[in-house]
Structure 1
């Protein structure tokens, strides 16, 4: 028996939930769905893990076990068992049946037994195998399974690269497998709603079990408990153990995995069957698993085991788990990879360079990638350039590798001068992955990269902006089934990481050439799909690609910062923060850590008895910002805490940090703009994040004073006025809204006049404020509850405002309903220019998920259209700057605002030109209004 491969038992239910929460987590920006909106992440994750597990162990016998529908015997023992668990999300429930179909079609035995849980079936099969002397490996993430471990049964958690035999369980939990049930029974389990003994936590449970033994031993030797060495030992028997013995005994029953489930099959029946290739082809096609579909269609094995795995013994499994699992849960990149390093070349001679220049000149387009010493474009030095002209044909031109023993390389200036005619030729297309970076790096080296046609990051983003990340590693895995060489693998990590110029050339060349090759192949894979979608293709060609040049120039220019002013502001903030700390201590009646949610929770709710407005997932009173905002309306301490939080964030994020971000080479701060992050098409920025500078407080607005004009220039800040409301008027064609904007009325006063039934001249400040909240709230899908909360009015009053609004603006109501209906039919909404935002939850049966998607459906066309409009304005502005070369520079974009440095000699004429370009960026049914201010700093100009 010892020569057999182990029996593999897969906890399918554990796999299912781990896959769902890993690949279908919108909060973390991860969501897998088909092009028509069907969720697919859980299916993909489970099948991937099964493939990985099979490759590692190549088992002769395997079973995949799932929980069956309905209640189990534990619900009869304790009706509240698992009662705390929320209902299964709709977007997970709909994936279960197709997942089961795929597993069966793969030829894997799938088991679900009514009346018991998957754990019980696994436990029974493991017990049978143990009786036969068979080794069993249980693949699970469930800690309860540790009770099954013995000399023949081990656990593997593929997510954590964790292998547990008897010694492993003892080391991890502090007790042997034989006491795991007792451990669970004493502590209870909030997830499964096993009661346990109230007040007994991990430390107490371990002290009791290690000091005395099992639960039976403990209750037979209660007199020994008081002599144990842990806090509360003297009273725990009388106060906790004795009063809750019934609960402990019940918990023991609930936590015990059955080992005698009646099965209608034998262990020998758990063998692989022939895969149903037709069904797999249909299912992989339906859920758009392109790599797996291609494998099936080309006759590759559905489950490919590592031949050496058949020789593995259980004692070797730890190393096997650690070595093989380093690829994570991704698809096996070796089966389908299109990358072949054999045809990569390192250019070290003039002859090689001449040959490659001729090859590049003959191309319609080629892929290009630069290697540098830093990700910051100003601090970075060019180390080398790689090219790819055909699939698998790539080269790296090293220019500045400087480690000891590095081979002689071509002179950088001479090589770049020879490449310039190709790189600056607009008729030869260039393809890159985040090519904006390469354009900026080459510009620093004196090369004006022309002919930029494609960016694979943007191709992926435009095709589906709500898909997973659009970085090269992710795209290579998704589209090419290839795992790229990781920079950390060749350069190291953390403080020991070396720069690219210090990496040995043979290694660096493979890495760099691969980047270009992968980029080319990604374009050849993604572009045909994007090209079929005319509207999306136009967004890519007319908006996103031209914007690359604009953003590159803005990033290179940077913005001037008054570091002395910021240092002074930091000192002022520090004084005020100290005052707020002391004020908080006074209100709380004691010192405490204002940055600690736990301590704040104790002060606010335990000591001061403030009302609990919201709870955390762990059922603790929440101290989140929205809670403090509400409490601050009635109580002084939360108000102080809010001001303290705001100032500490301003100080740490801006007044302290911005001076440190000034680049010595330029004396300026250079933010990085990101096109492929926000699903709606909005730009984001980092280092620093300009989009998040607070504007609602005086202190927040003051930070903008640090952004200053250089000598002889002024700052001009041009901002679209109420652009999203104007887009709503255009989209809805509501007569009253169109009239208000066309007549240049104050739209908030006009709305107030309509809602409150008065003339515009009679509208009060409060009425206008309420109308403004309605105007902006409705385009963000705000409910009457949200409006009531914001305006501090009753729900009935808020409902009256909304009803009256829609009665006065029926076109808006009609547009909203029509948009939701179209979204339900198509699975996506579009901007004015055809940019799509997919809404996988728009038809969810879960009301909260569906309503959130409906709110997004209403707002996304407006927010996305506004993003597109300002991008078009930026492109036209840059065209003006490039053609006429005025003494004017576009230096920042923040939401609906563009910021310029304008020479004082031409200030008014250039300001008018900027307004004209932005106003004419697109023709709507209502005018686009641009406000443009002037000042010595950004705040003055705003």
Structure 2
């Protein structure tokens, strides 16, 4: 019979270790995920390597335990858990539930006591036990059948403490670890021990006297007058310290070993939480790409595939769907269309629609109303047939996105099922996933597309009613719908890229990389593979003896955060960081852009995601032109490759100055903030003056930098931990800075307090144009979830309003270009910036027109300010 294997995990300890081992990560909803990700990596390693038959994760139940009765200052002095970590604990618990791993906590006891009690019970019952923690206190549990794995600097790098390992490392037994703690104390738990006695002295004494009690009863036999004096003076404190360090192995734990068997995880639930948290790498490991639920039995439908597409097929009101199998619809072929109206349900084969003059005439007829799913996608794909889609009055995708942006929309079926429309199959199950993806035979394809057309017709009234109920009709009709077609024009137009210049930049970067590589080898004293973390680790931490801040299961960590901390210690570090940055520029942006240039037009055609972010911001993909790094000079220079598509034209760029801070001033009504913008002051200098109580002349660059960090950070509900990381100061200093800021701008403080109360009452926050974001967690009893929700409530109206303003500016600009009969074209939207290409003779007009339009897109209590520049390339338009 196979021996039973129990794995016990110290939940709090592993979560803390993961949080501080990994840089802060966010999913697309802004939730921090690094602790959950690290915890998940640990779980996967344990499941793979240990193959447990039983599992349990123990958590601390609260801050107070029975140990506080013995010593009220137990664990005193610990810094408050960063909110960026606190908000992740609910997700860790949710993850464990998805993995079907039992979890347990016990009032008045620590996770250590739960683990100690359960491990003892399991050992008596014949189990092999493995304990996983980041806390060496648990090594006292080690025995012939209990191995204690302690994480080292990384997440999955574990040092295994068996009785023999403890003896080899300390020359002690596992039981003597408690005596050692009694003598030396434990700063992390605020266990005092005997002042002046460290690990070496404690071990030496225990080797001689075996136990703390033996030692204290034989103080006269101890060598050294000072040591004797310390032991005599702090005898009671040593005994108390040992008691505090002793894990209770008889805690009133109600855990039945038969009930914590591990039989595997719930794949559907794991996939759902991975998707929610944005763990794409882990999803790929699961082999999961699409929907995890099987489709219900679908009802049969009657439809027609016409022999010829004639004008008789179309009506006044039509529900219309265009299918492009390729996710990148700029290059994918239309494989079919569906049409639903009062005359019936029709499938239009692509080859017939493309050559039908009747179809083209109908599609371009403004008077023929069309309800669609994803108007932008439909317009861009039909343009490749030289058909300009007009008369679209309703887009079900955009309507649903406005109604509830928190919902992830996989495809039309996702949206349909939210409203109880079930006779539709998901694209993932119909076409298949990955290598199994294929186009079924015509009759099946026709049925699938017609079902989509029917779903659109069923959804329209539901969505329209919700928009009216939410007072969002204007946001839909006046902002998002016209924006769809502006974005479609921008995508179709694309932006010209100078291939030769990109290649030349690539060559320059290669030369720099070669030079830096040579410098690094010279500083290291030998040649090695800089891209190999293992080889680099050996050079840095063994040959050059730099302090190893983290370890991974394969060796030393050489991650960016580790190297940045080591930068002052050796000049090789700056060279390595430069090498990596340039290497990423080369592979991701130089080579990456060269791959996506359209061979026919010489342009890149980015796709704008209009229905993705919860704040209303646009994002772009294939390529992502919003993420071109501009901090490095070489990164900024990549913009030199973006050029006008016409001879003797120039690039013209205009961007909003500090738009989110201006929105904050308006929404909060803070008098000082409003006046600063009205007086056109440098807001960061002004904040530094107010916070540090100095004149403008006395504001140092460091003061302004700190003020800038808190100005922008406050918009995102920054915590003392977050600000301390940004500025490289202590959390205490950061906390004081935030306090002084809020005292300086009381209107901002009032806004932050009020918006939380409003959100609790309504369940959502709104932008000035009524864009909503639902935040149900705002009333959660869970402090961590609630704290994250409060920060989201503070930020969303600001960031969302800024997004609405630039969208309104894009619509107004498109109209102004048309009204003024200008040839200039809007090419790109990047964060708060609009980029145009324009003939030289229109520049003087644009210099007046663009700021005027953008600054008057919406009326605020403070002026909007737009800066512009122009030149032969995007780089020059700065």
Q: TM-score, normalised by structure 2?
A: 0.66
Find the aligned partners of 1:778 and 1:507 in 2 and give their Cα distance. 54
Question: Is residue 367–residue 517 contact of structure 1 (8 Å, CA) maintained in 2?
Answer: yes
Take 1:905 and 1:847, find their aligned partners in 2: how far apart are those partners?
A: 60
Question: In structure 2, what is the equivalent of residue 831 of structure 1?
Answer: 767
Task: Supply the distance in 1 between the matched residues of 2:530 and 2:677 (Cα, whole angstroms).
Answer: 47
Structure 1 residue 507: Cα displacement: 2.8
Partners of 1:87 and 1:863 in 2: how far apart?
21
- Indicate the residue corresponding to 2:331 in structure 1: 379
Decide whether aligned partners of structure 1 residues 197 and 565 sit closer, same or farther in structure 2, where only a CA change above 3 A counts: farther
Any idea what SS the aligned residue of 1:886 has?
A: coil
In structure 1, what is the Cα distance between the partners aligned to 2:378 and 2:338? 11
Indicate yes or no: 2:473 matched with 1:514. no
Task: Write the distance in 1 (CA, Å) between the matches of 2:592 and 2:573.
Answer: 27
1:604-619 correspondence runs (5 A): 610=546
Secondary structure of the 1:560 match is strand
Which residue in 2 is equivalent to 1:395? 346
- Determine which of 618, 626, 633 is the counterpart of 1:683: 618
Do structure 1's residue 475 and structure 2's residue 415 form an aligned pair?
yes
Instruction: Confirm or deny that 1:881 pairs with 2:817.
Output: yes
Distance 1:853 1:594, change over 3 A: farther
Match for residue 185 of structure 1?
A: 128
Corresponding position of 1:162: none
Question: Aligned partners of 1:926, 1:892: CA distance in 2, in Å?
Answer: 26
> Quick one: distance in 2 between partners of 1:189 and 1:69?
10
- Cα deviation for residue 531 of structure 1 reads 3.0
Tell whether the 8 Å contact from 1:672 to 1:686 is kept in structure 2 after alignment: yes
| C-alpha distance in structure 1 between counterparts of 2:673 and 2:29, whole Å | 38
Structure 1 residues 652 and 390 mapped into 2: Cα distance closer, same or farther (>3 Å)?
Answer: farther
Cα distance between partner residues in 1 of 2:399 and 2:828 = 25
When structure 1 is superposed on structure 2, of 805-814 and 737-746 the one drifting more is 805-814
User: Where do 1:638-677 residues align within 5 Å?
Assistant: 638-677=573-612
Aligned pairs for 1:79-158 (under 5 A) are 89-90=89-90
Q: Aligned residue for 1:629? A: 564
Contact 2:59 2:103 in 1 (8 A): no
Are 2:646 and 1:694 aligned?
Answer: no
2: CA distance, partners of 1:729 / 1:86 = 30
1:729 aligned partner:
665
Counterparts of 1:424-823 in structure 2 under 5 Å? 424-480=364-420, 482=422, 484-485=424-425, 504-534=441-471, 536-585=472-521, 594-595=530-531, 610=546, 623-710=558-645, 711-823=647-759
Match of 1:268 in 2: none
Q: Secondary structure at the match of 1:696?
A: coil
Cα separation, 1, equivalents of 2:134 and 2:732? 39
Gap change, CA 1:623 and 1:682, over 3 Å in 2: farther
Q: CA contact under 8 A between 2:290 and 2:433: conserved in structure 1? A: no
Task: From the superposition, tell whether residues 469 and 411 of structure 1 become closer, same or farther in structure 2 (CA, over 3 Å).
Answer: closer
* Per-residue CA distance 1:100-119 (angstroms, 9 max, x = gap): xxxxxxxxxxx99999xxxx
SS at match of 2:861: coil
Secondary structure at the aligned position of 1:842 is classed as: helix
Q: 1:327 to 1:543 in 2, by over 3 A?
A: closer
Residues 389 and 740 (structure 1 numbering): CA distance in 2 closer, same or farther, change over 3 Å?
same
Question: Which of 880, 894, 909 is the matching residue for 2:830?
Answer: 894
Q: Secondary structure at the match of 2:835?
A: strand
Are residues 188 and 787 of structure 1, via their aligned partners in 2, closer, same or farther at CA, if it must alter by over 3 Å? closer
Q: Among 367, 370, 378, which residue is 2:319 paired with?
A: 367
- Aligned residue number for residue 362 of structure 2: 422
CA 1:86/1:765 → structure 2, altered by over 3 Å: closer, same or farther?
Answer: closer
- Asked whether the equivalents of residues 456 and 522 of structure 1 are also in contact (C-alpha less than 8 Å), the reply is yes
Question: Could you tell me how far 1:715 is from its partner in structure 2?
Answer: 0.3
C-alpha displacement of 1:582:
4.5
Aligned equivalents of 2:848, 2:87: Cα separation in 1: 58
Pick closer, same or farther for the CA change 1:190–1:448 going to 2, 3 Å.
same
Query: In structure 1, what is the Cα distance between the partners aligned to 2:657 and 2:105?
Result: 62
Give the one of 330, 340, 354 matched to 2:293.
Answer: 330
* Cα pair 1:30 1:467 within 8 Å, conserved: no
- Seen in structure 2, the aligned counterparts of structure 1 residues 599 and 862 have a Cα distance that, compared at 3 Å, is farther
Structure 2 residue 285 is matched with structure 1 residue 345 = no
2:246 counterpart residue number: none
| Residues in 2 aligned to 1:588 and 1:910: alpha-carbon distance in whole angstroms | 54
Contact 1:457/1:470 (<8 A) preserved:
no
Out of 585-594 and 848-857, give the one that drifted further.
585-594
1:717, 1:88 → 2: CA distance?
A: 40
Distance 2:404 2:757 in 1: 21
Inter-CA distance 258–805: structure 2 relative to 1 (3 Å threshold): closer
Count the aligned residue pairs. 668
CA distance in 2, matches of 1:806, 1:457: 40
Quote the Cα distance in structure 1 between the aligned partners of 2:55 and 2:396. Answer: 40
Q: Call closer, same or farther: CA 1:795–1:327 in 2, change over 3 Å.
A: closer
1:910-921 map, 5 Å: 910-921=846-857
Structure 1 equivalent of residue 207 of structure 2: none
Q: Distance in 2 between matches of 1:342 and 1:260?
A: 49
CA displacement at 1:624 relative to structure 2: 4.5
Q: Distance in 1 between matches of 2:519 and 2:258?
A: 62
Long gaps (5+) in structure 1: 1-25, 33-64, 72-84, 100-110, 116-180, 202-234, 262-324, 401-409
Measure, in 2, the Cα distance between the counterparts of 1:861 and 1:622.
40
What's the CA shift for 1:848?
Answer: 4.2
Residues 1:420 and 1:191: Cα distance change in structure 2 (over 3 Å): farther
* SS in structure 1 at match of 2:620: strand
> Deviation at 1:345?
2.0
**What SS does the corresponding residue of 1:538 show, helix, strand or coil?**
helix
Contact 1:476 1:482 in 2 (8 A): yes
Give the secondary-structure state (helix, strand or coil) at the position aligned to 2:370.
Answer: strand
Distance 2:538 2:458 in 1: 57
Describe the shift of the 1:903–1:693 C-alpha distance in structure 2 as closer, same or farther (beyond 3 A). Answer: same
Report the Cα distance in structure 2 between the residues aligned to 1:914 and 1:491, rounded to whole angstroms.
46
1-side partners of 2:773 and 2:606: how far apart? 27
State how far apart, in whole Å, the 2-side matches of 1:827 and 1:669 are. Answer: 41
State whether residues 424 and 450 of structure 1, in contact with CA within 8 Å, keep that contact through their aligned partners in structure 2. Answer: yes
Give, in whole Å, the separation in 1 of the partners of 2:458 and 2:773: 26
- Tell me the CA shift for residue 737 of structure 1: 1.3
1:142-195 deviations in Å (ceiling 9; x for gaps)? xxxxxxxxxxxxxxxxxxxxxxxxxxxxxxxxxxxxxxx99x827666799996
Deviation at 1:455, TM superposition (A): 2.2
Q: Distance in 2 between matches of 1:93 and 1:186?
A: 22
Cα displacement (A) at 1:594? 4.4
How far has the Cα of 1:493 moved from its partner?
Answer: 6.1
Counterparts of 1:795 and 1:739 in 2: how far apart (Å)? Answer: 31
Q: How does 1:167-206 map to 2 (within 5 A)?
A: 185=128
2:411–2:427: 8 Å Cα contact kept in structure 1?
no
Q: Secondary structure at the match of 1:685?
A: strand
Tell me how far apart the structure 2 counterparts of residues 787 and 190 of structure 1 sit (CA, whole Å): 29
Secondary structure of 2:851 counterpart:
helix
Kept after mapping to 2: 8 A contact 1:378/1:665? no
Q: CA RMSD in A?
A: 4.8
Q: Deviations over 1:549-569 (max 9, x none)?
A: 110000011001011111111
- In structure 2, the CA distance between the partners of 1:644 and 1:356, relative to structure 1 (3 Å rule), is same
Q: Give the superposition deviation at 1:735.
A: 1.5
Q: Whole-Å Cα distance in 2 between the matches of residues 88 and 796 of structure 1?
A: 23
